[in-house]
């Protein structure tokens, strides 16, 4: 199967790797000539809204997918006219609009933070009366990784509204969470659904640093309830492929924060730690194959490598440690690789994670 991908970043690279291993032929479209997927597949360098490039991709491939949710809806529409695009336009539309996203999560019975639509400073003043302070003002469109957000502590509503840039927004009550979790799900073309174990994510400055799989101490009943709601959500979107739900854990209550209609950084550990990786599972789903087992092979942790890859990490030899280098030029704040540690011995797993983290911080 020739699989077209919108986006050739590290997710595209790892999808392309998995596609090649399955005997498929990946092709990427990305505006950046140095996109990391270029190392493993043909790359069309053009903006996502370039009609000629989209048509060239559509001519070349049997079906298409995307590796990030900010692809223009028009690009997916144009491709969809000639080839199946999975996941489809509805998953993208919901993931691109924080208001629609929160409403869809509520409709499918997830708990979320209290939220209100805000379209002006007056709306904001009224919403602040109801949700209290601090609250978080988030732009409806275009925000990710903590961008497009303003924490409203004691600012006047007019100032907070101006700080966000005066764009359509939602105000969310501040959630005093204990930790962040995520659930990576996958839905097959025929509607079958599978789940990877819930994982725990630690962020710093809005960027994921460490994922632990499985997340310690998630009540089995909570995980079952979460999976039940997730099935409803995936069905409501008629989603095909991987979808990730980011969650807050507040004293055992799990609140859904947002969805990513794609493979996710918090699922990278599945390459070594699960029976089927999230990338393989995504490709199986979109090509109409059975999903395969998503069970844990071994407890795992993933440490993101941000900015640059420490030299000492390249030569570190520890049981279960695998380094992934995306081949990107070093730059502050940029995800340039990750390290996965799989180990059945919990103490040794933690010791290796600590060692990797200390090299990353040095």
Residues that bind ligand AMP (CB under 6 A): 113, 136, 143, 146, 172, 174-175, 180, 203, 206, 246, 257-258
Report in angstroms how near the CB of residue 200 gets to ligand AMP at its nearest. 13
Tell me whether residue 113 or residue 215 sits nearer to ligand AMP (CB atom): 113
Tell me whether residue 174 or residue 318 sits nearer to ligand AMP (CB atom): 174
Q: Are 54 and 27 in contact (CB under 8 A)?
A: no
d(CA 105, CA 88): 18
Tell me whether residue 48 or residue 115 sits nearer to ligand AMP (CB atom): 115
- ω into 134 cis (within 30 of 0): yes
Of 117, 35, 24, 29, which Cα lies nearest the Cα of 75? Answer: 29
Q: How far is CA 144 from the centre of its chain?
A: 10
Report in angstroms how near the CB of residue 173 gets to ligand AMP at its nearest. 6
Report in angstroms how near the CB of residue 113 gets to ligand AMP at its nearest. 4
Report in angstroms how near the CB of residue 40 gets to ligand AMP at its nearest. 29
Report in angstroms how near the CB of residue 362 gets to ligand AMP at its nearest. 25
* 335-342 and 300-306 beta bridge pairing: antiparallel
Q: How far is CA 188 from the centre of its chain?
A: 18
Of 142, 129, 206, 128, which Cα lies nearest the Cα of 171? Answer: 128
Tell me whether residue 114 or residue 316 sits nearer to ligand AMP (CB atom): 114
Report in angstroms how near the CB of residue 145 gets to ligand AMP at its nearest. 6
Tell me whether residue 139 or residue 277 sits nearer to ligand AMP (CB atom): 139
Tell me whether residue 108 or residue 294 sits nearer to ligand AMP (CB atom): 108
Report in angstroms how near the CB of residue 180 gets to ligand AMP at its nearest. 6
Which residue number is nearest to ligand AMP in terms of Cβ?
A: 175
Sequence-distant contacts of 21-29: CB under 8 A, at least 24 apart: 21/280, 22/280, 22/283, 22/284, 24/283, 24/287, 25/1, 26/2, 27/2, 27/3, 27/57, 27/60, 27/61, 28/4, 29/4, 29/5, 29/53, 29/54, 29/57
d(CA 188, CA 287): 9
d(CA 249, CA 202): 12
Report in angstroms how near the CB of residue 182 gets to ligand AMP at its nearest. 10
Q: Are 40 and 18 in contact (CB under 8 A)?
A: no
Tell me whether residue 206 or residue 330 sits nearer to ligand AMP (CB atom): 206
d(CA 218, CA 260): 21
Tell me whether residue 51 or residue 165 sits nearer to ligand AMP (CB atom): 165
């Amino acid at each position: 199967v020739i699989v077209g991908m919108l986006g050739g970043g590290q997710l595209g690279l790892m999808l392309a790797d998995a596609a090649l291993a399955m005997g498929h032929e990946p092709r990427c479209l990305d505006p950046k000539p140095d996109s990391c997927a270029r190392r493993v597949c043909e790359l069309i360098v053009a903006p996502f809204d370039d009609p000629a490039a989209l048509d060239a991709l559509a001519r070349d491939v049997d079906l298409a997918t995307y590796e990030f949710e900010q692809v223009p809806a028009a690009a997916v529409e144009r491709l969809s006219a000639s080839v199946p695009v999975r996941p489809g336009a509805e998953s993208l539309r919901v993931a691109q609009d924080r208001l629609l996203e929160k409403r869809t999560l509520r409709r499918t019975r997830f708990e979320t933070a209290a939220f209100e639509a805000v379209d002006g400073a007056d709306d904001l003043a009224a919403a602040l009366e109801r949700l209290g302070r601090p609250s978080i003002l988030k732009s409806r469109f275009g925000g990710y990784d903590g961008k497009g957000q303003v924490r409203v502590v004691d600012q006047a509503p007019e100032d907070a509204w101006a700080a966000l840039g005066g764009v359509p927004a939602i105000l969310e009550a501040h959630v005093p969470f204990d930790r962040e979790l995520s659930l990576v799900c996958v839905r097959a073309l025929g509607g079958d659904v599978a789940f990877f174990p819930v994982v725990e994510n630690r962020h710093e400055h809005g960027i994921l640093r460490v994922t632990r799989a499985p997340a310690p101490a998630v009540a089995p009943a909570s995980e079952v309830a979460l999976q039940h709601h997730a099935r409803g959500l995936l069905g409501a979107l008629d989603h095909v492929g991987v979808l990730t739900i980011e969650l807050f854990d507040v004293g055992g209550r799990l609140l859904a924060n947002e969805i990513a209609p794609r493979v996710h950084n918090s699922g990278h550990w599945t390459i070594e730690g699960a029976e089927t990786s999230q990338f393989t599972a995504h490709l199986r789903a979109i090509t109409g194959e059975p999903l395969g087992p998503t069970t844990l092979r071994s407890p795992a942790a993933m440490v993101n490598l941000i900015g640059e890859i420490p030299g000492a990490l390249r030569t570190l030899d520890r049981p279960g440690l695998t380094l992934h280098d995306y081949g990107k030029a070093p730059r502050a704040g940029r995800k340039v690789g990750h390290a996965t540690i799989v180990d059945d011995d919990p103490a040794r797993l933690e010791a290796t994670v600590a060692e990797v983290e200390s090299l990353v911080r040095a």
